[in-house]
Structure 1
Amino acid sequence: MFDSPLSASAYEVLRVDRTATEDDLRRAYRLRLRQTHPDTGGDAAQFVQVQRAWELIGTPEARAAYDRGRGGASAPEGAGPAASAPDAMHWGASPRTTAPGTRQRARSYGQPGGWRRERYLDLIREWSGRGRELADPYDPALVRAAPYEIRRLLADALAEEATARIIADLGMGYTVWHDVAVASSDAKIDHIVLGPSGLYGILSEDFGGPVRVRRGEIIGDAVPGAPIAGLLQGMKAISRAGRLKFGGAIVVLPDEDVPVPIDELGKVHGMPTAVVARSSLSTVLRRGVTGARSIGGTEQFATRDRLNQIVRFA
């Protein structure tokens, strides 16, 4: 809940300034507990947030680590930023590494989150001042202070990278193309995944808060436009270009932002569609979206070859 550039900081959750004294912090924590406790009419989700915020900044040691941008549990020794605990708040680019062991990973093309990271770096430098040298463009304090649209780019890049790691662990029976450009458009498809359960277009998003679905579309306070409709339009363009038939569409969101882990919407504009919590993505890709056509044998090889011929990256 604190791992997104769009999330409120621990200080914001407790409603104190970053310079608050330990006594002020403790008083604010007790007040927020009373305000959010479900037994007194508060919101359970906010109550949990308050408790987690206190864990992050409730002691001098934890607070110092949080203020350095390394709040929460530490990463294993030798691991990169991607291996850090969810609340580590280090949003630097994850190194592309091969998992230890002999297990084959999914075949992957393109750079997940690459387009949005490049755009983020351009805009954060422009916003902070041209000619100014940024020691760390992912410094949490800098990111938190940036305008929403800049933070949104980084949040979406992180979402795409998280999805890519999950797909990679599915094994050699799967192939994925990241950041696929849509011809004659500025749009892109975050991921196209081919496996035994079918061919899927996937949108990885982080809207920074809870969302819901109404009439086959995602809605929420911070949801721009029509994400599902945009994904389906991009898939349609790729389908025409490659004379391919997608089996389904999947939207992947942070676990805490969806009411149920797997929400199968049925057919949206004729395409089987599901909104999925990130932790449930591997389950959905292995079993397939209801109504999606499975692909096996020579057809899977032919589909992969065809995609390799037509895919261009954003």
Structure 2
Amino acid sequence: MKLLELHFYQFTPTFKHTIQTPKVTLKTRRTLFIGLIDDTGNEWFGECNVFETDWYYDETIETVKQTLSQWFETIKGNVFMSFAEAQDLVGDLESRPAARATVMMALYQMFHELPSFEVPMTITVNGDIQRRLVRLDYAARIKIKWNPHIVEQVKMLTAMYPDTPITTDANQMLCEQDLPLLRALARYQLTYIEEPFPTLIDYRCTKDLPPIAIDEQATDEATIMRAIQHYGVKVVIVKPFRVGGIDRAMTLIELLRNQGVTVVVGGMYECGLSRYFTALLSRYGDYAGDVTPANYYFEEDVVEQSGQLNQGKLYFEPPVINQHLLTCYS
């Protein structure tokens, strides 16, 4: 098999409800897609999870496009006959995990038959808790984005859903003055909090806090193991685009679970193609992953009916891209 062409596409769905985080407000989700054309004429798609700016990570849509354009010129026409040989093709992308993950999503499909499956559902609440309450009965995990009413919301939700794990994500925006809030959350049995501080702190200072999970800092095996061994981290959020792709994510999940570390598979306001792979990986996590139902964030998606709610679980079929919704990247 050979790769003969690399195409870049974009898709910009509008969020049903504005996404408000401590760092950015999002009304739309501009998304980069790639298409790899092989020597049989098939086109294999990958979805990139980074954003237009570096608010979340230093790779952006534009840098990924530049990286992959340069990479493709070095491997174009190379022969590869197995997934292991396909992995060798991306050797030059080790320092650019989001770019590598985008390519690996396409390469993985060349050598693996994608299954249909069901997964439990996570509901993410972004300041729109009243609109979401009606759907929370189906959630296997409820994730609340950090906000000024976090303690009241956690108290309410743990009372309403005592058997459902409740988690939150602070996006590294907290400081010492917020410790009383975290102690209050621990009293209400918050399952874990993602990345509360800009840097990890001594585990002896976190004993009376909710379990701390790493997310943005879960970038590779060495970094993750250092966080576990030196800072007492007990929960790791594995995001394929942060660790370099689905293959790297699978290896990390197996390693961490063998060591007794709690693993959750994370997503990133994904369209249907990437969401399929997040769901695929989330089957191996200890809690429901960041997987939401079809049409949860967007009215329109490039993969139709991806993740249909069925008796409290999300049903996925192998993704088929609606190419009419993709436009050439400009």
TM-score, normalising length from structure 2?
Answer: 0.31
Name the structure where strand makes up a greater proportion of residues: 2
TM-score, normalising length from structure 1?
Answer: 0.32
Find the structure with the greater CA-based Rg. 1
Name the structure where helix makes up a greater proportion of residues: 1
Higher relative contact order (CA 8 A, sep 6+): 2
